[in-house]
Structure 1
Amino acid sequence: MGCVGEFAAISDSRVFSEVYKSAAKWHCECAVVYFLASEQRKFSAVASKKIGNSVTRNYAKRRLRAAFYNQKDAIVSGIFILIAKKQIIDMSFEDIERNLKWAFKKIGAVK
């Protein structure tokens, strides 16, 4: 799994459940962004089978991780889960970054 910058990977299903239940959520064109304010710095990119086959899902997750990594210095500490939408495959990387930046701003995750 690894990590993104100084953000650790989320591996415990209880953390996922807690974030889904009580986190701030924002839908953008490329993903659904969940943010739970915390002293911990955790991150996970998720792509369901609705996205496509394993190659396509991994491609979507790589793009989300890269866009998140480029903005990691501008966001506050917390737990982030990004769930890819099918449109991410056809979007340019700049559009993905712009969408995530907007989503982080809307859910109050920007420093």
Structure 2
Amino acid sequence: MKKKYRIKKNEEFQEVFKRGTSVANRQFVLYVLDKPEQLYFRIGLSVSKKIGKAVVRNRVKRYIRQVFHEERDRIEIGKDYVIIARMPVATMEYEEAKKSLLHVLRRANVFH
């Protein structure tokens, strides 16, 4: 995923948290912020150290990025998405994590 499609700066994360809407399930919290002037969507990932060591956290982030990569044609553009991973996702395999993340994305109506 190219750098322009990522949210990296703390100020950008804070803007999504403050002005965006949130949807959650047991594994993920999704914040969505409309950015109509943006011609693409951006994602920001937050995986706490509570989830596990670096290997586990990086695996979770790879899973999330892969889901967004696979679903990129269905996801609405002009939005910023911040995904916060919760503890249960640490023990999940890719297919389970994907199913859970897609559930949250559907609840947030991000597919067009």
Q: Give TM-score, length-normalised by structure 2.
A: 0.84
Q: Which moved more, 1:90-99 or 1:71-80?
A: 90-99
Partner of 2:12: 15
Deviation of 1:18 (Å): 0.9
Residue pair 2:31, 2:83 contacting (<8 A) in 1 also = yes
Q: CA RMSD in A?
A: 1.8
Conserved 8 A contact 1:47-1:61? yes
User: Where do 5+ consecutive residues of structure 2 fail to align?
Assistant: none
2:31 — aligned with what? 34
Q: After superposition, give the CA deviation of every residue in 1:12-68 in whole Å (9 maximum; x if it has no partner).
A: 221111101121211123211111122332112211111111111111111111122
List runs of 5+ in structure 1 lacking aligned partners: none
Q: Post-superposition shift, 1:108?
A: 2.1
TM-score, length of structure 1 as denominator length: 0.84
State how far apart, in whole Å, the 2-side matches of 1:46 and 1:100 are: 14
Please tell me whether the aligned partners of residues 42 and 79 of structure 1 are also in contact (alpha carbons under 8 angstroms).
yes
Match of 2:93 in 1: 92
Amino acid at match of 2:101: L
Whole-Å Cα distance in 1 between the matches of residues 64 and 15 of structure 2? 21
In structure 2, what residue type is equivalent to 1:3?
A: K
CA distance in 1, matches of 2:27, 2:93: 10
Aligned partner of 2:65 in structure 1 is 65
Structure 1 segments (4+ residues) deviating >4 Å: none
